[in-house]
Each structure stands twice: as C-alpha cells, then as structure tokens.
Amino acid sequence: MKSGTFPGGLSLPVSDAGASKPFESVPSSQTVIIPLKQHVGDPCAAGVKKGAEVKMGDLLGESESTAVHATVSGKVTEVIKKFPDMSGGSVPAIGIESDGKNESGGALEGSDPMSLIQKAGVVDSDVEAISLHDKLTLAKEKTVKTLIVNGVDVEPQMISRASILAENAKEVASGIDIIRKILGATTAYIGVSENASNAISAIGSACGSAEVVGLAVKHPQSLKELLVKAILDKEVPTGGSPEEIGVTVISAETAYFVAQAVNDKKPMLERFITVAGSGIGSPKNVLVRIGTPIKDVLGHCGFAPGHGGKVIIGGPLMGTAIHSADMPVTKETTGIYVQKEGEIAEFPSGVCIKCGLCVEVCPMRLMPFLISGFSESGSYAMAEDNDILSCNECGCCAYVCPVLIPMVQWIKLGKSEIRARRSSE
C-alpha cells in the first residue's frame, strides 16, 4: 500500500483512533427545519407553500446546481424567510411537522448521472459544502483526470469517514466508479488514515479501480490541499482549487450518496455524523435526517447541553461553535463535538516568547505568530506580505502556543479585513 504525509501538523493522542463503528439511526423529530441553502452558492427557490402535505423525499426547493427535500412526511408549518445559518448570515428555510409515519414519496426520475446528482441534492461537505453538481461541472471544464476520495476524518475524535468506508464499502466503491466515469478520470486514490485498518481492508477489497493510500495520522490531513500534497506530492496554487492542477477531491460519504442517487434514485436525506466530546464517552456514530434539531441528536446520544457548555459543528480544532442547540443538522454538518461548562479552553493571550512551535506545526509553512501579531496591531499590509491569505485555519498554531495567543482568531480578522479592503477598492 502506498503511504504519504505532509510536513508539520499535529499528532494528537486520540482514543478510538482508527476505529470504525456502525451508525445508529436517530429517530425522526417532531418538527424539522430544513434550510434552502446548505452549500456555497445561491439558495434554492422554495417550491412548497405553508400547509402543503409532503412525503419523505419530496422536493422542497431546487436550483440549477442542487435540490432540497423533505426528510419526514407531514405538513409544512412555515416557510421562513430568514433563518440563521452557520456563518452568521441568514437563509430561507422550511419547517415541517412530522406526522410520524415517515412515508416515502416517489423516486427520482431520469437516468443521466449528472442530472440525478443535481436532483438528489448531493452536497460534498468539507471545510466548505459545495454542490457536487457544481464541483463536477468545474472538474469537467478543467479536464480533471485524477480523483482523490477523502476517507480521512475531518478531525481527531471524528470516526464517521473511516466507518463509512468500513461499513458501506460497496456503495462507496460504486459511487467512486460513477464519479470516475462522469469525469473520465484515469487515476483514482482513496486517502485513509493508516491506523483505520477496517476501512483500509474493506474499501481495498470492494474497490478495485482506485488505489488506497495510507496516510500518517496527523491533523489536518483531511484538508484537500494536504491530501493533494500527501498523495500526489503536488501543491494546490495559492488561492486556487485542486481542479487547476487536474485533481478533484471528493469526500467518501459523498461517493456513498452518489451511488444512492444514481443506482437507487434516492435523494440525499441524511448525514453520517460522529458525535464526540467529554459528555459523550467514546465517540458515537449516528445517521441523522437533515433538519433534525441538534439537541435531539445530542439527546439520542445521552447528552444535554447545559448552560455554559459548548456545542461545536465540526471538530475540536476547526469546528464552529453554535449559539443554540435548536439549530438543525444540515448537509454541511461534518460532525458534532460537545464540551461541558468548565472544560472549555480559554485563550487569555500572553506575550509571544518566539518559541517557534507554531512555525514548526504550520502545515502551510507560514509564520503564524508573525501574521497573527501583524493582524493584532492592524498592520494588514504586512500580514498580507507574509501570506496571511494562505492560512487554512487548521488551528494547529493556537493549539501548541504556550502563551495561549488566539492566533487563528487574529488571522481570521486580518483575512476578513484584507478581503473587505480589496472588494471596496
């Protein structure tokens, strides 16, 4: 088996590393809220009105690149114009009250794989959630010949990708074949953490057409830039996408949903999620309907987020903390990480002692203390000269900092200031 890695990064002590576990289905909630935008791009136009009766899989809204479906059967209770989203903005959303029957609607129509992927609303979720239809269209434009399937879990403690590869290897393999055919890709790799032995053996025997690559267990190996580096020893140009160098990176669970859409004509109604964190015990894998309130998912895992706790969408290093556990699971939800009150890391910034640990761990080979410091003092031009825009916000620098400087926060501020100035010019 081929192996690979990248310079820098963090080797974190993680229990259950490389484990695979089956996914428990979370029962459908009384009410679900389904945002009409769960990807980068324009929201889908609402296709239902208040009071409409819907079945599972019925179309709620559609755009040229993707679609959103009802994930329970029941009645549309509200069409919300402005529902909070993860990035602090707002999106339209549809609320449905379940009738508890979970009746399925009709199957998707047509046979063209690309159009089925769009109709099924398949979204490829990583740091950004991108409509797979858009992604494949771009890849075809750029005549991408190399496909990398991302089987590395987004963060330490998360085990959902390794588990999908182990538990649903056949479907993933079929999805990979479909994507390869669409792209006409000549080579395909599946990047898996080298300690995920179940995943490696299952996908290795199920998928003959793609080469499995065992990757060193380091954060943030799951980022597409670093997969390209570890597997192909190439670098994605700064500010560009892997497609520019003839590569596209697609997550393992996305391949599963492609197989479901094209073979079974079923839309994407669920997400495979790992729920981890101190209140959970060992990480749990769950299969959750889109739109299920996060508090119901946590309740199913035996955890109630008390006052002063933290609920994070994603993982401990790169995830986004949410203000309310009423927020729904969407196609963008890669995992859930919880912390109880009193366990939350604080960053009461001290003075930098130039220990160089952040430089040592930075996978983009930046000088984090320097660009963070420039950002803190408002010297954005200096920060830009030192490539602040190349930062992928993986969190390694702040994690190792002995004086607890919230470097990623400063860097994010600097990046947004620089971008704001650019767009106003």
Partner 1 sequence: MKAPELVVSAIPHVHGGNSIQKIMMNTLIALIPAVVIGVYFFGMDTIRVIVIAMASAAAWEAILQKMMGRPIAVSNLSGAVSGLILAMLLPPTAPWWMICTGTFVMILLGKEIYGGLGNNPFNGVLIAWVVLQMSYPGYMIDWLAPPGDFMTEATPLEVLKYEGVGSIAEHFTTSGLLIGNTTGFIGEVSALMLLIGGAYLLIRKVVSWRIPVSFLAGVFLFSGLFWLTNSEEYASPLFHLLAGGSIMAAFFLATDMPSSPVTPAGMLIYGFLCGVLTVVIRLWGAWDDGAYYAVFIISILTPLLDKIKSKIYGR
Query: Binding of partner 1 at residue 418 (CB under 8 A)?
Result: no
Pick from 57, 267, 373, 395 the residue near partner 1 by CB under 8 A.
395
Which of 90/115 has CB closer to partner 1? 90
318 exposed, middle or buried (CB, 10 Å; 0-12, 13-18, 19+)?
Answer: buried
Question: Is residue 311 within 8 Å of 322, Cβ to Cβ?
Answer: yes
Strand partners, 187: 146
> What is the C-alpha separation between 329 and 199, in angstroms, rounded?
25
Q: Which residues of 256-282 are buried (b: 16+ CB within 10 A; e: fewer)?
A: bbbbbbbeebbbbbbbbbbbbbebbee
- Other CB atoms within 10 A of residue 310 CB: 18
CB burial of residue 340 (10 Å; 0-12, 13-18, 19+): middle
Q: Judged by CB under 8 A, which of 2, 101, 181, 365 binds partner 1? A: 365
- Which string of x and - marks every residue 369-388 that binds partner 1 (by CB under 8 A)? x-----------------x-
DSSP secondary structure letter of residue 173: H
Q: Which CB atom, from 308 or from 378, has the smaller least distance to partner 1?
A: 308
CB of 253 to partner 1, least distance (A): 23
147 φ, ψ (degrees, to nearest 5):
-110, 130
417 in contact with partner 1 (CB under 8 A): no
Q: How far is the CB of 250 from partner 1 (least distance, A)?
A: 20
What binding mask, one character per residue, do residues 6-45 give for partner 1 by CB under 8 A, x or -?
Answer: ----x-----------------------------------
Q: Which range binds partner 1 by CB under 8 A, 43-51, 128-136, 168-176, 353-361?
A: 353-361
Three-state secondary-structure class, residue 158: coil
Binder among 53, 112, 128, 360 for partner 1 (CB under 8 A):
360
Residue 216 interacting with partner 1 (CB under 8 A): no
Cβ-based nearer residue to partner 1, 272 or 337: 337
Judged by CB under 8 A, the stretch of 69-77, 111-119, 180-188, 334-342 that binds partner 1 is 334-342
> Using alpha carbons only, how large is the chain's radius of gyration in Å?
21
Residues 6 or more apart whose Cβ sits within 8 Å of residue 17:
156, 193, 195, 217
In the complex, minimum distance from the CB of residue 364 to partner 1, in angstroms, rounded to a whole number: 4
Kindly tell me which residue out of 1, 45, 107, 344 binds partner 1, with binding defined by CB under 8 A. Answer: 344
Token pair belonging to 210: 């793609």
Task: Spell out the residues 6+ positions from residue 357 whose beta carbon is closer than 8 angstroms to its own.
Answer: 400, 401, 402
Give the angle subtended at the CA of 276 by the CAs of 198 and 204, to the nearest 5°.
15
- Interface with partner 1, residue 110, by CB under 8 A: no
Site string for partner 1, 228-267 (x = CB under 8 A): -x-----xxxxxx---------------------------
C-alpha neighbours within 13 Å on the C-beta side of residue 290: 26
Stretch touching partner 1 by CB under 8 A, among 89-97, 116-124, 179-187, 407-415: 407-415
| Segment interacting with partner 1 (CB under 8 A) among 36-44, 122-130, 187-195, 342-350 | 342-350
Closer to partner 1 by CB, 137 or 409: give it. 409
Angle, alpha carbons 222-282-39 (nearest 5°): 40
Tokens of 360: 């040592």
195 and 15 in contact (C-beta within 8 Å)? Answer: no
CB of 68 to partner 1, least distance (A): 26
Per CB under 8 A, which of residues 290..329 are in contact with partner 1? 305-312, 316-325
Of the candidates 351, 423, 424, 425, which one interacts with partner 1 according to CB under 8 A?
351
The binding site for partner 1 (CB under 8 A) comprises 10, 225, 229, 235-240, 305-312, 316-325, 337, 339, 341, 344-345, 347, 350-357, 359-360, 363-367, 369, 387, 390, 393, 395, 398-404, 406, 408-409, 412
